[in-house]
A and B are shown apart, each in its own frame.
Chain A
Amino acid sequence: MTSDKPGSRVTGLVLNPWNLLLLLPFIVLFTPLFNRDEPAFVGLPFFYWFQFVLILVGVLSTMTVYRMTRTARTVPPPDEGPDVDELDEGSVR
């Protein structure tokens, strides 16, 4: 979210509304919402499978924030051959 914009170094706090998405997974702290047996899923009470679903909510929220707050890089990566690790993760741009 805070890569440099062309010509200006980012300073101070950078507030981006997309970051608010990071609050979404915190519904897992409101236990009365899901502290019950029904509806069960493949024999798992709601309490358990609902929290598994919330892992996915957490992943989606961090992933969305990452994608939506990415800005263009001002300094191009040094022109060196990609190493194994970079090839692995497909981070070569």
Chain B
Amino acid sequence: MQWVELIVFSLLFLLVTVMGFVASRWRAAATLDHLDEWGLGGRKFGSWITWFLIGGDLYTAYTFVAVPALLFGAGAMGFFAMPYTIIAYPLVFLPVLRMWSVSRARGYVTPADFVRGRYGSSLLALLVAVTGIVATMPYIALQLVGLEAVLRSMGFNGSGFLGHLPLLIAFVILALYTYQSGLRAPALIAFVKDILIYVVILVAVIYLPIKLGGWESIFDAANEKFAETPSPADGTLLGPTNQLQYATLALGSALALFLYPHSVTGVLASRGRDVLKRNMSALPAYSFLLGLLALLGFAAIAAGTTPIVNNATGRPDSNTIIPELFNTQFPSWFAGIAFAAIGIGALVPAAIMSIAAANLWTRNVYKEYVHRDATPAQEAKQAKLASLVVKFGAVAFIVFIDPQYAIDLQLIGGVIILQTLPAVAIALYTRWLHRWALIAGWSVGLAWGMILLYNIPNPASGRAHFGGSALALDKLNLFGWQPFAGSQVTIYVGFVALVANLLVAVVVTLVIRRTKVSNGVDSTVDADYHVDEHDKELRPIGS
């Protein structure tokens, strides 16, 4: 047991727990019994709070342990997180503003609410909502993987139920203050989390290269390691076969980023369009941090760090690379701060994701199919309960099922959330795509994406299925026609599935427009997409 680290970690954890409960009174409205308040923090966060909130939301604990672990294991390919977060903000700069405006004008709380209003189709909205919930659940479970990696490094490496007890305690506390304070809790905690993360990473990227003889010798050590492996795909530069994968994975991930319900929640909680525009320029500060942290994966190679063996599964847990690097290279008190940064970094996104999933459940399933006349107070109550269910579902996932499944499901989650792009993002601009065509495209993209993922093996881990998201073009098979037979170049599965989705949606639209099938009623008007804070006759918040 690492006592000094444990004490520092516990003190900081205690601090955020108090903050989580106090948050319910922070800039409070008359009542928290409305989804605008509990689920969106009153739709009034300014630039700073939004920056901390969305930053804490998108750059999760899992990102902070998994990305360096990828570089440690596979080299340059793991750096895809960089182009991904570079293009994400210019890409969504304009659509996010339209999403904010129409949601503010019409009182939408979830992306599925928008689809419901835009197409008058509760079925399409349900598909978008369910896709969002299914994609978010394993993401929450992954935050637990990040938290557990830290706990394991501090000595909590038991097997069976006792081994999971610290995790369970942390999550019960999180569940309670999220229940009470809603989105205000992660918004307030995000301040602590992000300041800790910035301090820790800046110290680490200055101190470690000096200690390990500079970046040059760090890269020499990494090159040496990758030269010894038989795989041609690893190395400190991209190889001939994985450049397309690097680019399409970055593009696909960037397209998916703001389709995730928790990103939309962070966006809708902001006060106005200017806040969002400023944040599109300010959020890349986190990308800079992520890039630096990613390079620590190579520093871990040079420092000779080895991953801890997970006593519950008997396999080395590569996600412990970064915690172990801090454990071995820094004094205990500093490692404790680093662990707290990662641990608290797991709580913020887990809270926002569970709120986003709860909002989807409440607005697009409960209110639509179970209790049509639900009052705003009943909606808020339902969402609070749903957030508990979602969180304990994620814990059960980690405790009772192999965490590897959470990682597999997260892989699937990225591919399936991308399939909502035509219904959510394209619909922000045009209703040209027919609602039945959107459903057809979604079905095809989803099914094909799953089949492709299922058939990808991973020779390194000896798995026959769900071995990764890199599809060899050779395997691309359209009813027996293989356009790229023999090619070993790889591409991101989600990208392939999205292209299929779009093609089907366009073709079905062209066909269906010749018939008299209704395209639903659009309850939004053009002006809705441009409203801003301070506009006259703006719908009051919480009505």
Residues of A within 8 A of B (CB): 1-4, 9-14, 19, 22-26, 28-32, 35-37, 40, 42-45, 47-48, 51-52, 54-55, 57-59, 61-63, 65-66, 73, 75-78, 85-86, 88-89, 91
Contacts and interface: CB of A to CB of B under 8 A. Distances in A.
Contact of A86 (B46, B76, B215): B46
A50 to B, nearest CB: 10
B534 A75 contact: yes
B535 interface: yes
B238 interface: yes
B70 to A, nearest CB: 14
Given A36-B237, A77-B534, A89 B46 contact: yes
A10 B237 contact: no
Contacts of A76: 534
Given A12-B526, A28-B87, A48-B79, A43 B219 contact: yes
Nearest to A46: B237
Interface of B: 45-49, 76, 79, 82-83, 85-87, 89-91, 93-94, 97, 209, 214-219, 236-238, 243, 246-247, 250-251, 273-274, 277-278, 280-281, 284, 287-288, 291, 295, 429, 526-527, 529-530, 532, 534-536
A71 to B, nearest CB: 11
B288 A26 contact: no
Interface centre among B45, B216, B236, B237 (most CB of A within 10 A): B237
Given A3-B532, A29-B251, A58-B284, A22 B219 contact: no
Contact of B83 (A29, A43, A66): A29
Nearest to A24: B90
A25 B87 contact: yes
A30 B243 CA distance: 9
B429 A63 contact: no
Contact of B281 (A43, A52, A62, A78): A62
B86 A51 contact: yes
B287 to A, nearest CB: 5
B530 A54 contact: no
Query: What secondary structure prevails in chain B residues at the interface with A?
Result: helix
Contacts of B280: 62, 66
11 contacts: A2-B97, A9-B527, A22-B90, A26-B87, A28-B82, A47-B76, A61-B90, A66-B278, A75-B536, A88-B46, A89-B48
A28 B83 contact: yes
A58 B291 contact: no
A91 B46 CA distance: 9
Nearest to A28: B83
Nearest to B276: A66
A39 to B, nearest CB: 13
B237 A62 contact: no
Nearest to A50: B82
A37 to B, nearest CB: 7
A4 B280 CA distance: 21
A91 B243 CA distance: 42
Contact of A45 (B236, B278, B535): B236
| Complex A-B, nearest 4 residue pairs according to Cβ-Cβ distance, in ascending order | A43-B215, A43-B216, A85-B46, A11-B526
A35 B90 contact: no
Given A31-B246, A36-B237, A54 B86 contact: yes
Contacts of A9: 527, 530
Nearest to A42: B215
A63 B89 CA distance: 11
Contacts of A29: 83, 87, 247, 250-251
Given A47-B76, A55-B287, A23 B90 contact: yes
Given A13-B429, A36-B237, A44 B90 contact: no
A13 B499 CA distance: 25
A45 to B, nearest CB: 6
Nearest to A65: B93
A35 B82 CA distance: 14
B237 A45 contact: yes
Given A25-B90, A91-B46, 16 more contacts: A11-B530, A22-B90, A22-B94, A25-B86, A29-B251, A31-B247, A35-B76, A42-B214, A54-B86, A55-B288, A55-B291, A62-B89, A62-B90, A62-B280, A65-B93, A66-B281
Contacts of B217: 43
Contacts of B287: 55
